[in-house]
Amino acid sequence: MRTPRGLQWVVLALVGGTALTLCDSVHIAYGVLEKTNASIAGQSWWTLPMFSTLSLFIVPLYRRFRCLTGARALATGKGELAFSSVAFLASYACTGPLGHWDHWLAVLLTAAWLVRLLRRRVRGIIFFSLLLAVAGPAVEAAISASGAFHYTAPDLFTVPSWLPMIYLHGALLVADLDGFLGGYAPSMSAWKLSPRSFRWMLNVFPPLMLQRIRIVSVGADFQSCRVRIAKSPLTRNLHGATFGGTIFAAADPIAATLFWQLFARRGVVVETWLQGGSVYYSKPARSALTIDVRLSDEDVASAVEELDERGRFRRTFELEARDRGDEVCARITTEIYVRKGREARDGHSAF
């Protein structure tokens, strides 16, 4: 009988939290770390809840990561999962009695990770492992700085040099757990965002953020959006005005991403992008600029109808970049292309 999905996550939280707490107790028993306000066998009351929470959320977090990087899920069976679990727990537990080996232990654990990595050749695992190896010790260092615990012999700032290697092995176990639990990760096309999350996502998007392009507001119905282009030395041209490419970049993704969320909120997965465009610069932009994008009810109704009938549509939008004096500095034409996601095309041609 297949274990219900909800029960799977409960078991993962309990088993993962207990196993990590026991490994942490090995560190305490061998004097590798000391807890403040320890209550039971040298442990603090918050240790088990913290590790259970980590066990519960780390797999969904990895799935989001796979979604962003396009990595495929591992095909993990019971035997492979058991081997991966033992390998991780062994790498964790051995740092208790062997913790004094310091850099040599770090080298041995890295070598073991590389051997395991060669067996699981999947794009994305290396980057996720390295990311976890940096983030994990950084979080531990922050908790240690709060006085909750401390390592007795740190040689990498406030943590041991072998600590990142435990996270390297943990990342491989997370990838195997993801594969064993079904490996389902919804593509970004299926994400339904709130206006606030949508605005945040675009504002941290490097091509926009680094050019001082900011989404100021998004309508609750995703039919309007205001974009602001700050005047910045980073985007100034030879004449002291805002670089024309920056102005076009501000208009590039907006209409397409609005349609993405409009359809996502209707339960329809679509793929959208800018297919073409042009820009006419009418005057130098010597102050901050504002671009307003609006989708009328007629735009939305015709798009829904055409997507349902043909599986795709194109739309052209005329936008204006206005300065603080409300004068038009640039007129931008964008042509967006929207089509149903691969799973929902039902035989419709992509083009």
Nearest to 103 by CA among 157, 160, 150, 168: 160
Helix (H) or strand (E) holding 98: none
Domains plus CATH for the chain? 5-185 (no CATH), 189-344 (3.10.129.10)
325 to 249, 305, 321: CA distances (angstroms): 22, 39, 11
- Which residues are within 8 A (CB) of 253 and not within 5 positions of it... i.e. 6 or more apart? 202, 205, 208, 274
Is residue 293 helix, strand or coil?
Answer: strand
Residue ranges of the chain whose pLDDT lies below 70: 1-6, 121-123, 183-188, 342-351
As a whole-number percent, the residues of the chain with pLDDT over 90 amount to 67
At 256-307, the pLDDT tens digits run 999 999 999 998 989 999 999 999 999 999 999 999 999 999 999 999 999 9
Do you know the residue count of the chain?
Answer: 351
CA distance 90 to 162: 14
CA distance 214 to 335: 21
* Residue reference for tokens 């602001």: 228
